[in-house]
Amino acid sequence: MDNDTTNHVGGILKQQRISLPLTLQELASKAKVSASHLGRIERGERFPSAHILRKIAAPLGFEENELFTLAGYLSTPVSATAERVPIYASGKLDPYVARVLSQEPPEIQRAVIGILTILRSIARNMDK
C-alpha cells in the first residue's frame, strides 16, 4: 500500500470519528482496539488490517464493505449503470454520476465513495 492510500484511509476514518463525535479513546473502547494503534492509523503511520476495519466499521457508522472498498481490499464496481454502483442514503446514485465515476481511476472512485459515505453518516446522525 502506498503512503497516499494509507494517509487517505486514515484521514477518512479520523473525519468520520470526529463528525460523530467520538474521541479516540471512545472509539478504541467500542471497537476493542488500542487507542494508540488507531491514532497511528489516523495519522497514516499504519495501514488498517481487514480485522481492524471490521472492528471499527460499526462504531464509525460504516458498513464493512464500504471500509474494505475504501482501503482497497474490495474493488469498486466499475459500471455505467447505477445498479452496480453502491447505494447511498437517498437511493441509487444518479446515472450520470455513476457513469462519470466509473470512468475514473480506482483511487478517485474510492475517494468519492468515502466522501459520500461520510455525508451519508452525517445525514443519518442529523436525523437522530
Q: Which domains does the chain have, with CATH numbers?
A: 3-126 (1.10.260.40)
CA dihedral 64, 1, 40, 71 (to 10 degrees): -20
- The answer to whether residue 79 scores a pLDDT higher than 60 is no
Alpha carbon separation from 68 to 23, 26, 53, 64 (Å, rounded): 23, 22, 7, 6
Q: Which three cell numbers stand for residue 106?
A: 480506482
Give residue 91's pLDDT. Answer: 44
Closest CA to 86 of 104, 106, 109: 109
The DSSP 8-state label assigned to residue 74 in this structure reads S
Give residue 55's pLDDT. Answer: 95
- The answer to whether residue 6 scores a pLDDT higher than 50 is yes
**pTM, whole model, 2 decimals?**
0.59
Give residue 24's pLDDT. Answer: 96
Give residue 5's pLDDT. Answer: 58
User: What residue has cell string 486514515?
Assistant: 10
- The answer to whether residue 67 scores a pLDDT higher than 90 is no
Q: Phi and psi (nearest 5°) for 88?
A: -120, 180
Q: Which three cell numbers stand for residue 2?
A: 502506498
- Residue 20, exposed/middle/buried by CB under 10 A (0-12, 13-18, 19+)? middle
Give residue 9's pLDDT. Answer: 86
